[in-house]
Amino acid sequence: MNKLFLIFHGRFPSEKAASLFVAKSCEVFADNNLEVVLLAPRRLFRVKQDYSDYYNLKNNFKVVYLPTIDLFPFRIFSNLSFYVSCLFFSLSVLIYFLFKANRKDIIYSNESLPLLISSFVFDKCYYEVHDFPEKKKNFYKTLFKNLKGLIVTNKWKLAKIKEIFELPDEKLFYEPNAVDIDEIDINISQVEAREKLNLDKNLYYAVYTGHLYGWKGVDTMAQVADLLSDNIKLVFVGGTDDDIEKFKQKYETKKNIVIIGYVNHSEIPYWQKAADLLILPNTAREDISKYYTSPMKLFEYMASKRPVIASNIPSITEILNENNAYLFEADNSGDLAEKIKFAIENKNESYSLAEQAFQDVQKYTWENRIKRIINFVNNG
């Protein structure tokens, strides 16, 4: 059995989408006859619950916590805290590899520094590109030269990386993010989901699930509240404690807004099933949103069999289109409000789009994603 080491410089497990992404990747890699070891830093406030229970996953891969210097809880010099932690963790990874890995093993990560250091010693290093290397071009030029391959999560990044770094096609592989359809498309009706969540069956709910970062476009969605009738509620599910508190200070008094806050990931499917509409309001004002991202939420929405209203930006429209979703002008709360009203008033059309989205998302399962990546690695 081949061994795959996956490097993750973040709290694991945690409420962050990146942590869930890593957990799902490890589980499905392990399902495909790989011995998987996840290397994560020994952070101070990681969730102590076993990952398989926390994420409802198979207990089929090993997690090794390596030393780091964790200054994040002190909330001072955040950039310095990151670099100190990342450098120390990267050295811990290298030392671990020198004792536990061999040159035939696969090293896989979306963490650039530990992967670069590892690539000077190990041959089969693969980088999953979630962001775009705007700065430190020489650093990334060296990294990309040393790597066996890059897995890129959207088409804009693929084209730009190929153009700027002049990489050959055989070194690049396009693969968006993914979803566990069975986990999201739970066997429950909208009425039953609302009963479980104590939601009014006579109201309309436009639901957002995810973090409350500015680039996610949540402010645009919140500003829609003043443009809707009282029987349409805007529901926000998710966020960190600090972001939830700030969001409440800005919008809690608005009559159309319901701020739920953080819930366990296992509860997200109930909120999506209870919805009339699912909103993906990413901003066009920041490149991370407009160009770089491949939102896990997008694929979860498509798997929920509920109509989706999403920003008309490149990172979204390479997956969504007028045949499987309603698209609105990003950062335009007026246009979003009109799309919400139209979708509610045209239920048959809305659910026709939802059904098409569900059919389209079938190729973006975790199983399909990982099988394609393994095929790319094996043919590299």
What pLDDT, in 10s, does the model give residues 132-163? 988 889 999 999 999 999 999 999 999 999 99
**Chain centroid to CA 143: how far?**
24
The amino acid that residue 367 corresponds to is E
Residue-range domains of the chain with CATH? 2-178+365-378 (3.40.50.2000), 181-362 (3.40.50.2000)
**17: confidence class by pLDDT, cuts 50, 70, 90:** confident
pLDDT in tens, 157-186: 999 999 999 999 999 999 999 999 999 999
The pLDDT score that the predictor gives to residue 77 is 63
- The per-residue pLDDT for 373 is 98
The token duo for 245 is 């508190």
Cα–Cα distance, 229 to 170 (Å, whole number): 54
Amino acid at residue number 222: A
Q: How far apart are CA 179 and CA 195, in angstroms?
A: 26
Residue corresponding to tokens 């990874």 = 93
Q: Is residue 212's pLDDT more than 70? A: yes
Which burial class, exposed, middle or buried, applies to 278 when counting CB atoms under 10 A from its CB (0-12, 13-18, 19+)? buried
Q: Is residue 331 within 8 Å of 215, Cβ to Cβ?
A: no
Read off the tokens for 76.
């001072």
Residue recorded with tokens 């002008």: 329
Residue carrying the six token digits 């002049």: 166
Does 78 have pLDDT greater than 80? no
pLDDT confidence of residue 71:
73
Contacts with 267 (C-beta within 8 Å, 6 or more apart), sequence order: none
Percent of the chain with pLDDT over 70: 97
Task: Kindly list the distances between the CA atom of residue 328 and the CA atoms of 185, 334, 352, in Å, as whole numbers in the listed order.
Answer: 25, 9, 18
Given a contact cutoff of 8 angstroms between Cβ atoms, the answer to whether 275 and 343 are in contact is no
Q: Is the pLDDT of residue 320 over 90?
A: yes
DSSP code string of 53-122: HHHT--S-SEEEEE-----GGG-SSHHHHHHHHHHHHHHHHHHHHHHH--TTSEEEES-HHHHHHHHTT-
Predicted TM-score (pTM) of this structure: 0.93
Strand partners, 3: 35
Rounded to 10°, the helix 78-100/112-119 angle is 30
Q: What is the pLDDT of residue 73?
A: 64
17-31 vs 296-303: helix axis angle to the nearest 10?
70
List the one residue out of 292, 259, 297, 267 whose CA is nearest residue 281.
297
Rounded-to-integer distance, Cα 43 and Cα 66, Å: 9
The residue type found at 181 is I
Of 145 and 82, more confident? 145
> What mean pLDDT is predicted for residues 21-27?
96
Residue 108 in contact with residue 123, Cβ under 8 Å? no
Average pLDDT, the chain: 94
CB atoms closer than 10 angstroms to residue 62: 13
Whether 375 shows a pLDDT value over 80: the answer reads yes
Instruction: Please give the residue that has the higher pLDDT: either 321 or 84.
Output: 321
Cα separation, 51 vs 258, whole angstroms: 30
Q: Which two tokens stand for residue 373?
A: 């990546």
pLDDT at 76: 64
65-74, 106-115, 251-260, 269-278: range with lowest mean pLDDT: 65-74
Whole-number pLDDT of residue 1? 63
Indicate the residue type of 218.
Answer: V
pLDDT for 237-292, tens place per residue?
999 899 999 999 999 999 999 999 999 889 999 999 999 999 999 999 999 999 99
- Given a cut of 80, whether residue 72 has pLDDT beyond it is no
**pLDDT per position as a tens digit, 321-353:** 999 999 999 999 999 999 999 999 999 999 999
- Quick one: pLDDT at residue 258? 97
